[in-house]
Amino acid sequence: MKSILLISTSLSKESISANLIKFVNIQLKKENVKSKIIDLREFNIPFCDGRSINEYDANIQSLFNDLKNIDCIIFGFPIYCYSISGVLKNFLDIFSLAMRNKRFGVCASAGSKMSYLAISDLFKIMKFQSNAIGVMPTVLVNRSDFQNDIPNEEIKKLINEMLSSLLK
């Protein structure tokens, strides 16, 4: 059975991408897929400064090992100014070696659907830095795609297609 780590990178208390990740995790649990959410609001991740992972504290090393030992990753992140957030970029800088050769999916939120090209930034980083494989489709949402923290039917369909691709 494959294991999936869902990484929620928004630091916002009212995060759309964090709600999306929670919903995706519920879908995985319904399918009896082993999954776990890492919410970066609950971690104190320092700025990347080029040091070895062994020089970080025990919490960071533990998260690094969690990433190394799972099969797949789903990134949940907001898109700011038509790019990935600084929080996500910092996370990738520290943990990219742990994600080598992994398959990953994307659940992003943006102010408008016009921000979809920002997802390509993540695909490039993951391919060149981690030799990771991004799956299609990606899931891009905004506030109008939700009602009471539940995505609409079109988004649910995209989520299911992304999960199907990820779990192949």
Q: Is the pLDDT of residue 134 over 90?
A: yes
Work out how many domains the chain is built from and give that number. 1
Tens digits of residue pLDDT in 135-145: 999 999 998 88
Q: How far apart are CA 101 and CA 140, in angstroms?
A: 24
pLDDT for position 147 = 83
Which amino acid would we find at residue 94?
I
Q: How far apart are CA 102 and CA 93, in angstroms?
A: 16
pLDDT for position 75 = 98
Distance from chain centroid for Cα 120: 14
pLDDT for position 113 = 78
CA distances from 108 to 54, 77, 85, 116, 142 (A): 31, 5, 11, 9, 9
Q: How far apart are CA 24 and CA 77, in angstroms?
A: 13
pLDDT for position 29 = 95
pLDDT for position 111 = 85
What DSSP state is assigned to residue 42? G
pLDDT for position 116 = 87
Q: Is the pLDDT of residue 51 over 90?
A: yes
pLDDT for position 149 = 80
- Report residue 102 as tokens: 């992994």
- Give residue 146's pLDDT band: very low, low, confident or very high (50, 70, 90): confident
Q: How far apart are CA 28 and CA 45, in angstroms?
A: 27
> Long-range contacts for 66-69 (Cβ within 8 Å, ≥24 apart)?
66/5, 66/36, 66/38, 67/5, 67/95, 67/98, 67/99, 67/102, 68/98, 69/3
Q: Is the pLDDT of residue 112 over 90?
A: no
> What does the radius of gyration of the chain's CA atoms come to, in whole angstroms?
15
Q: What is the CATH number of the domain that holds 93?
A: 3.40.50.360
Which amino acid would we find at residue 22?
K
Quote the domain boundaries for residue 145: 3-166
Q: Are 155 and 141 in contact (CB under 8 A)?
A: yes
Tens digits of residue pLDDT in 12-50: 998 999 999 999 999 999 999 999 999 999 999 999 999
pLDDT for position 94 = 97
Q: Is the pLDDT of residue 1 over 80?
A: no
